[in-house]
Amino acid sequence: MENKDRQILRLLADDGRMSYTDLGRATGLSTSAVHQRVKRLEERGLILGYGATIDHAAAGKPLTAFVSITPIDVSRPDDYPEKLRGVEEIESCWSVAGEESYILKVRVATPADLEDLLARVRAAAHVSTRTTIVLSTPFENRATH
């Protein structure tokens, strides 16, 4: 991958709504050249989509937690993501190596909501959980390209 493409990826990771004109100014490329490069990056699957950065506290879900899940019965099928896909409070689900099978990133309004969510996760997936509550987020979703 060329350095200009990496630069475009960094800029779009910081601001997915950045115009082609502004991308061109920042990279020293013409607007049409930037447009072509972005299209190629999308076609190659390097840009998977664009999204908004949400202020979760203002949106009513100030509590973020990471929930590690471990199967209670390891002979059961590993279908936990499918069992939990419809749980709206789960923002992300990662399959991991280690003691846990998956780590979930969840957002809720209150500790009571977290307690309710944990009960629903345990019941739906037949797993044990270990929870870490986020106190603050100095940075998140940094561009690494």
pLDDT computed for residue 143 by the predictor: 66
Q: What is the pLDDT of residues 50-82, one digit of tens each?
A: 888 889 999 999 999 999 999 999 888 899 999
Record the tokens describing residue 113, joined without a space: 């909501």
**pLDDT band with cut points at 50, 70 and 90 for residue 142:** confident
Mean pLDDT on 14-29: 93
Model pLDDT for residues 77-122, shown as the tens digit of each residue: 899 999 999 999 999 999 999 999 999 999 999 999 999 999 999 9
Rounded CA-CA distance 119/129 in Å is 9
Q: Which CATH class is domain 3-44?
A: mainly alpha
**Best CA proximity match to 85, nearest among 121, 60, 130:** 121
d(CA 117, CA 102): 16
Report domain extents, the chain. Answer: 3-44, 57-134
Q: Which of 15, 14, 34 is closest to 23 using CA atoms?
A: 34
Architecture of domain 57-134: 2-Layer Sandwich (3.30)
Neighbours of 129 (CB within 10 A): 17
Token pair 């780590």 is found at 103
Instruction: Kindly state the tokens that stand for 11.
Output: 């800029």
- pLDDT tens-digit map of 28-54: 999 999 999 999 999 999 999 988 888
- pTM value is 0.79
